[in-house]
Structure 1
């Protein structure tokens, strides 16, 4: 536009030139709809011209060009009328609307397909969860002297525990944590759990059993995944426990009011080396309890926002020592898990109680 200090006539001339330039562009440019709208805006702003008056002026452009050419003795080709310009602009608008409608339809199709895939994935995850639950001990069957709990941070879990009788008064047990989370961890968990139950029916020595499972995991593991695991056998009549650990957190042996001992790992996790040896450790429960757990318990946050860690674990175990065995694992987890049940990692806990 003209400078603020320009004379009135100069300002008007600039406005007329701007409007004339845009009016001419209506007949030259491709986007005629935008050009027409700009002309209407400028004429209304500068000269208070209505839309109907604007269209009349635009209609005169083609006629004026033909008359001027005739007066000057020039020959020009057939001029496009304003009605033709409007039809072209409306056709372009219709094409744009169709394009928008097609994009909307394609978006609806993509969203529908996404929802179908999500629903299918949800069904498959629920099925995987049910398969995992079938690999854990039946929660409805309470065996004397042993109990456990598994809480998953995601739909499927990388933790598991198991126990089953191996002769009169003897019980085989294990607790394990697969590296990582999600479906990969869940698949390796299912394989390890199946190997423990299948091979453990014939091999009652925990160290030898872990060595067998380790070789199988090493041969088929992928992306550097591994499994930390505790395996053992308890004689429920005498209270004697034989325990072997593959890189897992120390099992905690608690008396009625105090810590009796801890049993740290003396071998690496399963799947690291095919020739690993897993030594057994034998001890007496002395009427106390043996607690096996995964790092999800230690990393759980207390009410103050701090993680439980080892000192907190010992304190919590002491506080719940008098809770009946069948209720204790749930009571311990409830004391460290938020009301909304949100977990950062899978949490698994198993308790083996000695004969009083």
Structure 2
């Protein structure tokens, strides 16, 4: 009884798993007066039972349905074998290799609080005879406490891992947010605004607005496939490459050619980035290119309807080399707008699953054709949120509005 109480006290406090399992095995041999005891743990990845602790034996691995121990685990029940060599489930190979003689076995699953088996306690060779009812009661009590201790240990590890992951995700989120422009750049005659909302802690979208050395406005909107930490790293790499090369290469299409070559080497198959890159002059001349990104909406002047530009090349990272040339420049008159969004906005779904769609997004843009970029951006945000009934987005949402300042009345 003192041994049971000591074990209960030890199992009630956090301890090293190896130490815990060794102590369980030692107590099992003493309580049951047996020659050996093993603690088999279930490995979900391999669907095996393996001995983290096997007193008197080296490590053993078996399928979780094989042998006596597999029968106890898969059946989630005690298996008492008085004569192993007469039981078809018993594998005598270990005895033949070592010279050990297995006379009897008592195997009991270690279950968590929900009754799910997490492993097996197995006692081997009762000293001076056979395992009796008292041995069965003792090993069942031992297995119950061991199962709860294992569950607590697993939960502790999961909590520690979750805390570490949260720290890493928070760091990644802060790093990504640091790449977002804190305020619009000052370029004479041009107004701009951008916004992004990730679907998880980190997102696969990004945008950037910056003043180029030659006085033009740099405009980038990129969307990596998927969302989360992996795409966030990929899209951040694309943004960094664009910003670095923009000081050396004055043509956006040529710049994207170099970025594509780099990402095609770096990304795994199936990963890609859609991206729009434009350099807008104060006189309204927009040099641009798009690597599979759309929709690209342009209103050349407040009186004209929206036009949709077609991406000239494939997304970044899909093919090593592009063969299509740069698209022709676009001229934006005073009051004209460039509207860029990621698919998370126009694919936002209502409770029935119907998407917001490009047509509705264009209607919002028409109503705000003479508004400031901030006002149009706010209207798009509100419409997408209302359309989704206030639910969090399933995909990252990003929008950039650039407008040429309206001419002053004479």
TM-score (norm 1): 0.70
Q: Tell me, in whole angstroms, the C-alpha distance in 2 between the residues paired with 1:228 and 1:239.
A: 24
Matches within 5 A, 1:289-308: 289-302=337-350, 306-308=354-356
**Aligned: 1:311 with 2:355:** no
User: Alignment partner for residue 345 of structure 1, among 395, 401, 405?
Assistant: 395
What's the secondary structure of 2:329's corresponding residue?
Answer: strand
CA-to-partner distance for each residue in 1:52-80, whole Å, 9 max, x for gaps? xxxxxxxxxxxxxxxxxxxxxxxxxxxxx
Contact 1:248 1:269 in 2 (8 A): yes
Displacement after TM superposition at 1:203 (Å): 1.1
Report which stretch shifted further, 158-167 or 321-330. 321-330
Give the stretch that moved more between structures: 159-168 or 120-129.
Answer: 159-168
The answer to whether structure 1 residue 159 and structure 2 residue 205 are counterparts is yes
| Correspondences of 1:187-226 after superposition (within 5 Å) | 187-226=233-272
CA distance in 2, matches of 1:234, 1:282: 10
Tell me what 1:103 maps to. 147
Unaligned runs of 5+ in 1: 1-29, 32-87
Is 2:310 the counterpart of 1:264?
yes
Query: Taking structure 2 as the reference length, what is the TM-score of the superposition?
Result: 0.61
Q: Which runs of 5+ in 2 are unaligned?
A: 1-79, 82-131
Structure possessing the higher relative contact order (Cα contacts under 8 Å, 6 or more residues apart): 1
Q: Which has the higher helix share?
A: 1
The answer to whether the 8 Å contact 2:196/2:399 transfers is yes
Number of aligned positions between the proteins: 271
Cα distance per residue 1:188-237 (max 9 Å; x no partner): 1111011011111211211111111111111111132111111111112x
Q: 1:243 aligns with which of 284, 288, 311?
A: 288
Q: Which residue of 1 aligns with 2:169?
A: 125
Alignment match, 1:280: 327
Shift of the 279–222 alpha-carbon distance from structure 1 to 2, 3 Å rule, reads same
Matches within 5 A, 1:4-83: none
Q: In 2 relative to 1, CA 271–305 (structure 1 residues): closer, same or farther, beyond 3 Å?
A: closer
Structure 2 match to 1:354: 404
CA contact 1:151–1:346 (8 Å) conserved in 2: yes
* 1:316, distance to aligned residue in structure 2 (A): 1.6
Which structure has the bigger radius of gyration? 1
**Separation of aligned partners in 2, 1:108 and 1:251:** 54
* Shift in alpha-carbon separation, 1:304–1:93, aligned structure 2, 3 A: closer
- Structure-2 separation of matches of 1:107 and 1:273: 48
RMSD: 2.4
**Which of the residues 137, 155, 166 maps onto 1:93?**
137
| Structure 1 counterpart SS, 2:338 | strand
Larger fraction in strand: 2
Moved more, 320-329 or 143-152: 320-329
Cα-to-partner distance string for 1:268-301 (whole Å, 9 max, x where unaligned): 1111222214413312112211001111111012
Q: Per-residue CA shift, 1:141-182, capped at 9, x if unaligned?
A: 564511111111111111111121113641111111111222
Q: Distance in 2 between matches of 1:198 and 1:167?
A: 12
